Amino acid sequence: MRIIVQKFGGTSVASPEKRAMVLGKIEKAREQGFYPVVVVSAMGRKGEPYATDTLLGLTKSVYKNIAVRELDQIMYCGEIISAVVMTATLQNAGLEAVMLTGGQAGIITDDNFTSARILKVDPTRLITLLKMRKVPIVCGFQGMTADGEFTTLGRGGSDTTASALGAALNAELVEIYTDVDGIMTADPRIVNNAKILDCISYGEVCQLAHQGAKVIHPRAVEIAMQKNIPLVVKSTFSDTPGTLITNIAKEDTRGNAVADRVATGVTYVNGLAQIKIEIVTDQSYNASSKVFRAMADAGISVDLINVHPGQIMFTVSEEIAEKAGTRIQDLGYKAGILYNCAKVSVVGGGMREVPGVMATFVEALSANNITILQTVDSHTSISVLIHKEDVEDAVTALHAKFGLDS
């Protein structure tokens, strides 16, 4: 049985015309001999009636601190509505479609409400449906604990659902359908001449996603990578081939071996705060261990960490900066907090050991009078912290400087 998982994001299922295009993609897969398993997200984006954010707003306007268990119950509704409407669309076209919640599709998670982790997937029910030539329409973003509690997988979780089902079913391919033609060299909302990447490695796309490219969830990539299942990111609204994500180090259309690309893409993350702590030099070893332990105990995740004798710097997301500052004060240190920061990164699987990458990066920013607050690099990425108002200029400048415009 040639199984394909086809995931359709929120904008792909938002109107009858768009759902007709989704139907077309499912029918085409069947014509090609595939047995599709369909995963859908909630319909539309913020402001639209059945979008996840709208449902959240409904509840949070009543009580801002509603318990996370109940938040998951209301967030469950978005995908249920979407999946039922999509099932009706298929049934209307004469296909035998069956709607399943995440739990009904066999996705078992831990009980970490609002960002649950998949523990295992039991594909028995899906396989039974496929053998009967039925089309399962699975609610993305959802799971169920072993004792039957509804859970959700966090933002972008429908991608994870698709990969997890693909892995459990040993699918030939997982397709992530969205509103852009594939993974691009930068967010097309910022760089209008961003280019589609025709192929990319799991590692690079994980880096892009972790560094802010919201086009696919990094967890989805990790799950597919473990079982070496190819992922394709493509548009619901066109017939272009999209971006193939695999392990294979082949060449892209510009003749560059994927593994050798110095720069694959430019990404950004907004909403960060920089925390700076001055320490008396001879206490610094002890101080950093106390500070990072306190952050961990408070469940605060930290990024862009620079530890020097006399100074500790890192970033946290803006909403929890105040809480982080308080914890540091409780330790007896003084923390300066700089709000309205953003992280901009260049990612490239072939960046390692290429001299001059940092110089190129810094030149691009200084030519545009952009202040660098902090830097951090790895084998496959360079990131800087800058002021939020510089993000668009920085992304555009780096995109051009690293040759991604052409």
Which residues define the annotated binding site? Answer: 7-10, 52, 79, 178-179, 189, 214-215
Q: Which is nearer to ligand ADP, 116 or 184 (CB)?
A: 184
Residues paired with residue 375 on neighbouring β-strands, in sequence order: 384
Applying CB under 5 A, the site for Mg ion has a residue count of 1
Least distance from ligand ADP to the Cβ atom of residue 208, Å: 6
Single out the segment in contact with ligand ADP by CB under 6 A; choices: 57-65, 186-194, 251-259, 333-341. Answer: 186-194
Write the interaction track for ligand ADP spanning residues 111-150; mark x where CB under 6 A is met and - where it is not.
----------------------------------------
- Site membership for ligand ADP, residue 265 (CB under 6 A): yes
Single out the segment in contact with ligand ADP by CB under 6 A; choices: 10-18, 125-133, 292-300, 311-319. Answer: 10-18
Using alpha carbons, select from 85, 170, 156, 81 the residue that is nearest to residue 126. 170
CB 209 within 8 A of CB 264: no
Using alpha carbons, select from 44, 129, 127, 128 the residue that is nearest to residue 90. 129
- Tell the burial category of 31 from Cβ atoms under 10 Å away from its Cβ (0-12, 13-18, 19+): exposed
Using alpha carbons, select from 194, 200, 198 the residue that is nearest to residue 261. 200
| Alpha-carbon distances, residue 167 vs 50, 306, 366 (angstroms) | 29, 38, 45
Q: Which is nearer to ligand ADP, 77 or 108 (CB)?
A: 77
Helix (H, G, I), strand (E, B) or coil at 291: helix
Distance CA(188)–CA(191), nearest Å, equals: 5
Find the residue with minimal CB distance to Mg ion. Answer: 156
Q: Which of 26, 184, 223, 224 binds ligand ADP (CB under 6 A)?
A: 184
- Site membership for Mg ion, residue 157 (CB under 5 A): no
- Site membership for Mg ion, residue 182 (CB under 5 A): no
Q: Which of residues 68-107 bind ligand ADP (CB under 6 A)?
A: none
Least distance from ligand ADP to the Cβ atom of residue 105, Å: 18
Q: Which is nearer to ligand ADP, 97 or 208 (CB)?
A: 208
Single out the segment in contact with Mg ion by CB under 5 A; choices: 73-81, 150-158, 264-272, 329-337. Answer: 150-158
Distance CA(180)–CA(238), nearest Å, equals: 9
Single out the segment in contact with ligand ADP by CB under 6 A; choices: 6-14, 70-78, 163-171, 377-385. Answer: 6-14
184 binds, options Mg ion, ligand ADP, none, Cβ within 5 to 8 A by partner type? ligand ADP
- Among all chains, which residue has been given the structure tokens 């929890």? 320
Q: Which of 136, 156, 157, 166 binds Mg ion (CB under 5 A)?
A: 156
* Pairing of β 303-308 and β 335-347: unpaired
- Site membership for Mg ion, residue 140 (CB under 5 A): no
- Among all chains, which residue has been given the structure tokens 């060299």? 185
Least distance from ligand ADP to the Cβ atom of residue 215, Å: 4
| Alpha-carbon distances, residue 153 vs 143, 308, 364 (angstroms) | 7, 37, 38
Question: Under the phi-then-psi rule, with left for phi > 0, alpha for psi from -120 to 50, and beta for the rest, what region is 133?
Answer: left
Q: In what order do the strands lie in the sheet with 107-109?
A: 118-121, 107-109, 142-145, 150-152
Least distance from ligand ADP to the Cβ atom of residue 185, Å: 7
Least distance from ligand ADP to the Cβ atom of residue 318, Å: 20
Residues that bind ligand ADP (CB under 6 A): 9-12, 41, 156, 178-180, 183-184, 186-189, 213-215, 265
